[in-house]
Amino acid sequence: MSRRGAPGPYLGLLLALLVALGELPQVRCSEQEPGGAHGSNQGFQVVTFKWDHVQDPFIIALWILVASLAKIAENCSPPPALQCHGARGPSRASHTLDPAWSVTTSERTHGGLVQGQAAIPSASASTAGTWPAAISFPGVAVRVTQAGFHLSHKVTNVVPESALLIVLGLVLGGIVWAANHTASFTLTPTVFFFYLLPPIVLDAGYFMPNRLFFGNLGTILLYAVIGTVWNAATTGLSLYGVFLSGLMGDLDIGLLDFLLFGSLIAAVDPVAVLAVFEEVHVNEVLFIIVFGESLLNDAVTVVLYNVFESFVTLGGDKVTGVDCVKGIVSFFVVSLGGTLVGVMFAFLLSLVTRFTKHVRIIEPGFVFVISYLSYLTSEMLSLSAILAITFCGICCQKYVKANISEQSSTTVRYTMKMLASGAETIIFMFLGISAVNPCIWRWNTAFVLLTLVFISVYRAIGVVLQTWVLNRYRMVQLEAIDQVVMSYGGLRGAVAFALVVLLDEKKVKEKNLFVSTTIIVIYFTVIFQGLTIKPLVQWLKVKRSEHRDPKLNEKLHGRAFDHILSAIEDISGQIGHNYLRDKWSNFDRKFLSKILMRRSAQKSRDRILNVFHELNLKDAISYVAEGERRGSLAFIRSPSTDNVVNVDFNTPRPSTVEASVSYLLRESASAVCLDMQSLEQRRRSIRDSEDMVTHHTLQQYLYKPRQEYKHLYSRHELTPEDDEKQDKEIFHRTMRKRLESFKSAKLGFNQNKKAAKLYKRERAQKRRNSSIPNGKLPMDSPSHNFTIQEKDLELSDPEEAPDYGAEEMSGGIEFLANVTRNETTDSPSGDTGSDVPLTGRSSPREVPPAAEKHSRVPPHAPPTPAPVPPPPPPIAPPAPPTTQSPASDREPGAGPASEAGPASEAGLALEAGPERRRLPGAHARSAAARRVHSRRSFQRPRARRRPALLKLSSLPPSYHAPPHTLEQEETPL
């Protein structure tokens, strides 16, 4: 369906464009006429057509729209119908806008660019003004295009997006050419360097996995500097050698021109590399090396380029040794200067964001404006602008993220991604479009082919040589596969193109040859290598070739192994550079953070650090409690969780039902002799669907190992929030468990008591402080609860102590106790929610007794929660998982537990069936409370599993009921 639908919008889009463009000439004529008429005869006009007035921004916006639409289509294949509309909409729009289009197409490139050029050197204000415009001009196109390609994941799985975009650019360029016979749109260096590149590089810097980057900085620098110089020199010299042999025929090129060409073609392009590497899953070290190299070598390229260009300008014979030395010096000045500028601006940015507490709304603006200023400033000083903005991003990220508000940081993240991904799309498309211009083509087979051969071969040689040197010093060796991927991943891109276009035809006679060769090289690397690198990687990892669905065991254990591995990695220590890193983090903590971070941010950071590094009971308690109080734990309140939970309500049901059915079938199959074959089939089909559900669940919810989610930078995806959520979840589980075992193992009861009391008091304090609308605090319950806890701890055997069973047990008892005793209701959602997953043990789950609910409906309760999702599988009766009886061994606990019996049923029924309204009070449950229970369910005790183990005698009969009621509740839905 989707596959068939996919080309539809495309064709529609293209057709529309074609039609539109075909009409251009006429439209232009008609446009000019009224324009002429305007001036002469009319007085006042009610409505005027002022195209010129809005021309530039309009076209820009249009391009952005087009590009974005393309992106949409690329990303969502499922509803084809929708796509068609989406794609056709804009195309129609462009159609109607034809007049505008036609007029501008020809003027556009020149006018716009000249304007851009004029604007750039001027101050930041004006740049800021023109910037969006200039970006968006090509942007529209790009959005649309991207939209076109995201069409089918099937396609993009095989072909990298960048390659698709180039091809689309070619097609569009062809259309424009066919309509206009001039190359109207080209990627000009100005637009590229001032508007398209900065967002991409800033994005790369701002989201740079710093630790990884600095951990591999030496390697990255070696590849970026030595590697690039090597590539430039060898390529240039080899080409010159071949030229001397006469293989290329008659060309007007000198040695310096060759070197110039070599230098501009040497650099691996960050845009192209990322676009491809993101889709090929390589290990993180390899990723960061290639990525870092491609970012940093731009500086080298630009310096080399400038040096050789000035040499060419001087003329080959006038270059002296002094000039060469100057060239080398200028390299250091340019790169270090650029870095310094970046760091300075990062400092400034961090400092500024520290004081934006009262102007939150403009915080994101600062991030962009100041980083962009760093780019422009270093460009102004003829330093390396790319390095400046990269390091600005790298250095400021930590402080900015800590300083600005959550919303602002989200805004920054999204805006940055949006700009970067848009710019990237634009670049690739325009690489395609720019190629459709016969004026620039000058073909020389030998030159083109030899360039291709040389850059590939020399890169490979360079990589192997450097790796050989590096491997003697590196902790993590770069293996043969890595080297292959690195040499093969040397994609050239827009930087090379922009540089080659910048060449002055008067000085470099064969500019067009260089341009066309560069284009070919870019196409070859991006399209051919981009296409083949993925299969290559897969082929090299031979083990992966065997394709089959992993079994459950493999999936589960495989993931477990990943976690084990990353844990062992952490234990065995990080990779090198520890000393420097420690020094730096000391310095950072002592000085930088103090200056650059808000006080509140410092504090919270310190707290987490403390908990992490000096695990100390009190800190951990207050951390957990604090997190709960603020409700800042993502999984407690994040709406996404709710969605997930809602979804879950549906998924588990079939699985449980099916599970029971299949059990039945299996059982009966062995017992009764039925038609075995059909039974077998049925069983199999049931099993299959069950399998699917199970696999799906595992796939989706197994925690991801670190390597998979951290560290890697992606231009198109933003996932850190999930990671944080996962981290917090796990962290809290871990902390909770540790506190448990800590108490039971390390401290005697007295301390335990103290700690728990302290905790209780703290919580009570907090509760009192936090807004509780209706509720007295259970003043007597802390001590009471506490005794129970103590017992629980004592009872749970050491092996089990860190497990949920024990936790839940105590939580459950407490819960019961609370149900019976206290009059408090839970404070509304925030606090309620937070109680549950983390400190089930010690946070009283105050559920108002049913009797109370009769008379008093909590204010926050919705009238009737009618069409709610089925309730989460509710909490089973809280019962100790250990074989020891909870009640008989426990004098103080016995009272509440048995007392709790009836009420517990009430409570459970409450939880179980809000919509069933078993009890009058049931409807009183707010949505928030329900959410709580859905969460609570993940740590339900195992009691239901083995009820036989409990000594139920001590419990009231009603205790038995809930499981069954629960079961009933679940199935029909």
Interaction residues for other proteins, span 594-653 (CB under 8 A): 611-615, 635, 641, 644-645, 648, 651-652
Q: Is 543 in the site for other proteins (CB under 8 A)?
A: yes
Q: Is 939 in the site for other proteins (CB under 8 A)?
A: yes
Which is nearer to other proteins, 724 or 762 (by Cβ)?
724
Kindly write out the interface string for residues 733-762 of this chain, putting x where it contacts other proteins by CB under 8 A and - elsewhere: xxx-xx------------------------
CA distance 524 to 529: 7
Selected from 52, 316, 938, 968, the binder of other proteins by CB under 8 A is 938
95-103, 458-466, 470-478, 530-538 -> range binding other proteins (CB under 8 A): 470-478
DSSP string, 284-304: HHHHHHHHHHHHHHHHHHHHH
Selected from 361, 565, 664, 851, the binder of other proteins by CB under 8 A is 565
Selected from 940, 950, 959, 962, the binder of other proteins by CB under 8 A is 940
CA distance 217 to 845: 51
Smallest gap from Cβ 803 to other proteins, in A, equals 6
- How many residues interact with other proteins (rule CB under 8 A)? 79
Q: Is 807 in the site for other proteins (CB under 8 A)?
A: no
Q: Is 799 in the site for other proteins (CB under 8 A)?
A: yes
Smallest gap from Cβ 558 to other proteins, in A, equals 6
Q: What is the DSSP letter of 704?
A: P
Selected from 406, 504, 554, 688, the binder of other proteins by CB under 8 A is 554
Q: Is 691 in the site for other proteins (CB under 8 A)?
A: yes
Q: Other C-beta atoms within 10 Å of 721: how many?
A: 14
Q: Alpha carbon 373 to chain centroid distance?
A: 26
| Tokens describing residue 426 | 């634009």
User: Are 518 and 500 spatial neighbours (Cβ–Cβ below 8 Å)?
Assistant: yes
User: Are 882 and 946 spatial neighbours (Cβ–Cβ below 8 Å)?
Assistant: no
Q: Is 562 in the site for other proteins (CB under 8 A)?
A: yes
Helix axes 639-650, 927-936, angle to 10 degrees: 70
Which is nearer to other proteins, 125 or 671 (by Cβ)?
671
Which among 232, 222, 68, 75 has a CA at the least distance from the CA of 138? 68
User: Are 79 and 159 spatial neighbours (Cβ–Cβ below 8 Å)?
Assistant: no
DSSP string, 441-492: ----HHHHHHHHHHHHHHHHHHHHHHHHHHHTT-SS---HHHHHHHHHT---
Q: Alpha carbon 659 to chain centroid distance?
A: 36
Smallest gap from Cβ 408 to other proteins, in A, equals 25
- Residue 3 backbone dihedrals phi, psi, to 5 degrees: -65, -40
Which among 220, 200, 178, 150 has a CA at the least distance from the CA of 21? 178
Which is nearer to other proteins, 19 or 484 (by Cβ)?
484
Smallest gap from Cβ 811 to other proteins, in A, equals 14
Contacting other proteins within 500-529 (CB under 8 A): none
Which is nearer to other proteins, 566 or 787 (by Cβ)?
566
Q: Is 219 in the site for other proteins (CB under 8 A)?
A: no
490-498, 549-557, 670-678, 786-794 -> range binding other proteins (CB under 8 A): 549-557
Smallest gap from Cβ 551 to other proteins, in A, equals 6
The Cα angle at residue 381 between residues 375 and 385, in degrees rounded to 5: 30
Q: Is 465 in the site for other proteins (CB under 8 A)?
A: no
Kindly write out the interface string for residues 568-587 of this chain, putting x where it contacts other proteins by CB under 8 A and - elsewhere: xxxxxx-x--x---------
Which is nearer to other proteins, 581 or 856 (by Cβ)?
581
Smallest gap from Cβ 641 to other proteins, in A, equals 7
Smallest gap from Cβ 741 to other proteins, in A, equals 8
Q: Which long-range contacts (C-beta less than 8 Å, at least 24 apart) are formed by 566-575?
A: 566/705, 566/706, 566/707, 574/215, 575/215, 575/475, 575/476
Q: What is the DSSP letter of 472?
A: T
Which is nearer to other proteins, 691 or 762 (by Cβ)?
691
Selected from 18, 659, 718, 952, the binder of other proteins by CB under 8 A is 659
Q: Is 480 in the site for other proteins (CB under 8 A)?
A: no
| Tokens describing residue 717 | 């995806």
Which among 890, 921, 904 has a CA at the least distance from the CA of 966? 904
Q: Is 469 in the site for other proteins (CB under 8 A)?
A: no
Which is nearer to other proteins, 336 or 615 (by Cβ)?
615
Q: Is 284 in the site for other proteins (CB under 8 A)?
A: no
Which is nearer to other proteins, 25 or 550 (by Cβ)?
550
Half-sphere exposure of 526 (CA within 13 A, CB side): 29
Helix H segments across 719-849? Answer: 720-741, 749-769, 781-795, 804-821, 829-839
Kindly write out the interface string for residues 390-419 of this chain, putting x where it contacts other proteins by CB under 8 A and - elsewhere: ------------------------------
Which is nearer to other proteins, 760 or 940 (by Cβ)?
940
CB contact set of 519 (below 8 Å; sequence gap of 6+): 431, 434, 435, 440, 497
Which is nearer to other proteins, 80 or 962 (by Cβ)?
962
118-126, 300-308, 554-562, 667-675 -> range binding other proteins (CB under 8 A): 554-562
CA distance 924 to 27: 67
Which is nearer to other proteins, 729 or 792 (by Cβ)?
729
Helix axes 321-354, 284-314, angle to 10 degrees: 130
135-143, 211-219, 794-802, 846-854 -> range binding other proteins (CB under 8 A): 794-802
Contacting other proteins within 843-902 (CB under 8 A): 872-873
